[in-house]
Every structure is written in structure tokens, then in C-alpha cells.
Amino acid sequence: MPQFKFFEQVNKNFDKASQYTKHDSGLLDQIKICNSVYHITFPLRRDNGDIEVIHAWRAEHSNHKQPTKGGVRYSYTVSEDEITALSALMTYKCAVVDVPFGGAKGGVKIHRKNYSKSEIERITRRYTYELNKKNYIGPGVDVPAPDYGTSETEMSWILDTYNALNTGLDNEGCVTGKPIAEGGVHGRTEATGRGVFYGIQEACNNKEDMKMLNLNHGLEGKTVIIQGLGNVGTYSAKFLQKGGAKIIGIAEIEGGIYDPGGIDIDKLLEFREDTGSILDFDDAKNIKPSSKTLEMECDILVPAALENQITEDNAQNIQAKIIAEAANGPTTSSAHDILKKRGCLIIPDHYLNAGGVTVSYFEWLKNLSHVRFGRLDKRFEENAFKRIVEAIESVSGKKFTQEQINMLSHGASEEDIVESGLEETMVVAYNEINEIRKKHDVDLRTAAYISAINKIAQAYEQLGIFP
């Protein structure tokens, strides 16, 4: 299989979209280029006393908005090219969904499973120390978040280390994806998967597109294959299944499973917890190699693993009518062209997986305001609704049950507000890029890049930094 330079793939898409804009070529070059990349090396003393050199990176792609924002991944595939490309996608992603951050990304090059919890903690704290030393972290500078191979645990260590090195009222805002007790926000863990669901649902609600694909309007009954059962894939599967779709295939590292009759995701997760694998689940057919699962018949394919999973080598074999890119960069530029020519609807990554950064933005706002969402108005709303219910009872003579009263008078909790804000963000952004798509007669990916380029260019021009 050919090697793909990830940043090059991102820039190909950028160049294709920039042709539909009227911005100066120098400004376009400034938007496209990565502002800075920090390559870090530091020693780790292993639990057995050996010393190992760890390589890590942090890229800040664009400072047109501050702070910059992006996850930190722990993987042996981490490289400067990957981190730079992901930071660029973060820039465009934030612009598409109107989140006021510049794009950044970080990564540590390790096989996580080869390290103990204490070693991971030491790596995380040293990485944070190195970022802080060069001013690559801070609530108004650069704000990390969880990504592939990291979780709220690592974010908690980042916050604790940052607090040890800095004093400040807004320190909690130096990182998002934290535990609730340390300033996290309800709904952040499942945010990317929930955003994927909202994006797919909105696409399926477009009657014109569904007619062109010879599919029924709406999500109900559509068959789905998902690649990757990490955080994003798991929650995408859960919400899609709850929304009426039928999950018929799952691809994981050890192999894939396929069952046209449907796969119960909750039962599959329990099975994997017990056996350590998704293979041999119920009546599902085992698929090896795992990549062949992507080529099975379905309506919607959701690549939710790593980049460059759909290439010119397998794009011709993909049978899905909708490609929903839950992962970053899962489809190469050449593969995209093959799928587009075949009539596939491709929902692009830098729109579809923006749920994580959107809810991270909500968490960051909560940290800076020092007020939990819903705290000021939840009880007021409930009491107002109760008075309305009482008025209806008085006029109609009908008495509501306590269960009905509780349902009708429910005030918005933090999770309700976050969920509502995420849905609003994903729905508005989809319709915005869909209008651009119609205007220029392009695909959704190009439309999303056009949207991002125009917004970033406007931000640069407003900054007045060009003579």
C-alpha cells in the first residue's frame, strides 16, 4: 500500500476549495501553512529502571483566533506530518462550526499498551512541563483535549501539572475533557459520537439527497457499518442505533463482524469486555482482514478509526452510499474522487467530528465563567413551568399526575444545555455548507473547506495585520 503524506492530503483539499474563493494568494498561503511545530524529546525512567527517550509534538496551525485548540494522541503512528495535518483540520473544523479557536494538535509517539499507568502518568506530566516551558499551553494560549489513546485521566494530570507550574484564576481552562469534579462538562465524553449522529441524521433528512441515492428519507432503518469501537465509534453506534439505524457491521483491529440482521451494540460491548474481542459474537460472520468489513454492503459507512483507511486501493470496492467520516482524514484525496464519481455522499471529517471541539468550547466557557450551565436558571424555569401547569389545571379542571407535572416542568440541566447546543451547532453548520455546495456545485468536503477559508480569511483581514 502506498504511503500517504497526511498534511499533503489536507492541502490538496484546501487547494481544490480555494479556487472557489476570491482571496489573495498570499493570504491563502498564510491560512494553509502551519504556524509552528514543537518537537519535544525527553527521557523516561521505566519502572524497571531503564531510561528511554520519548518523542512528542505540539503543532499550532493557526493563530487567527486564540487560544488554539486540539487533542493529544498517544500512538506509535504519531509523527510530525500527522500532527501538523491534524492541527490544520482542527483550524478548518473550528471555523466550519463557528467555534472561536485556532487549530492545534499534539501527540506522543508510544505504544500505549507497553507502558504501565505510572509510566503514562510520568510521560503526561513531563509532556505538560515541556509545553508549559515553551508557552504551548494555557487557557488563553493553547488548550489540549483527549484524542486517540488519551482520556479524562490524562487531562486531569495535565491540569494538575499546569496548576503546579502556574497560578491563575482561570487555570481550569488550560485543558478540556476533564473529569466533572475538576471542571469538566457533562456530555463531553460522548460529544464527538453524538455530533456524528446529528450530522448523519441531518444529511439523511435531506429528501433531495436521499432521492438521488435511492434511499428513504430519514435515518430510520438505514444499515450502518462502523470502523473502530473507540470512544467515537462506540458513541456513534449507540446514538445511531437509538435513532433507528441498524448496525450491521463493526471493524476492529482483530477483525470485523457482519450480520445483516443487526448487531446489538450494548451486547457487543459486554461481549468484548468479557472476551477481549468482537470476533465470534452471536450469529455475526467474522471478517478478516478487518479492512474487508468496510467493503460489505450497507447504506452508511462510518470510518471512526485513523487516517487513510479508504484509499484508491479499496475505494472501488466500497458499497456504502453514504461515507460519514467520524475519524480525521480517513479518505485520501484520490479515494474521495473515486467515491464521488460513483455517486456517494461523503460527509467530511472537518464537519462531522466537530462535536468534540464544540463541547470542549462549552467546557472552556464554563471554566472561564466559573458557573455551571443551568445553575442560574434551572429552578426558575421549573417554577415558571409549574405555574403554567397550575393555570391549565385551573382553567380546564383537569389534574395532571405528578409524573406528567415533572415532565412538563423540567428545567434544563447542564447536560440538556450542552446537548441542545451541540445539536444546534451541527444542524446549522450542515445546512450552511450544503448551501455552499449547491451554490458552487461541489461536494460537501469542498463546501466545508470553502466555508472555513472564507471565515478564516475574514478573521485575518479584521485583525489588520496585512499592510
The catalytic residues are 105
Task: Quote the CA–CA distance of 195 and 239 in Å, as a whole number.
Answer: 10
What is the CA angle 192-193-197, rounded to 5? 115
Q: How far is CA 320 from the centre of its chain?
A: 21
SS (H, E, C) 315-363: HHHCCCCEEECCCCCCECHHHHHHHHHCCCEEECHHHHCCHHHHHHHHH
Q: How far is CA 117 from the centre of its chain?
A: 25
357 and 69 in contact (C-beta within 8 Å)?
yes
233 and 269 in contact (C-beta within 8 Å)?
no
Task: Quote the CA–CA distance of 428 and 94 in Å, as a whole number.
Answer: 14
| 3 state DSSP class of 132 | helix
10 and 85 in contact (C-beta within 8 Å)?
yes
DSSP 51: E
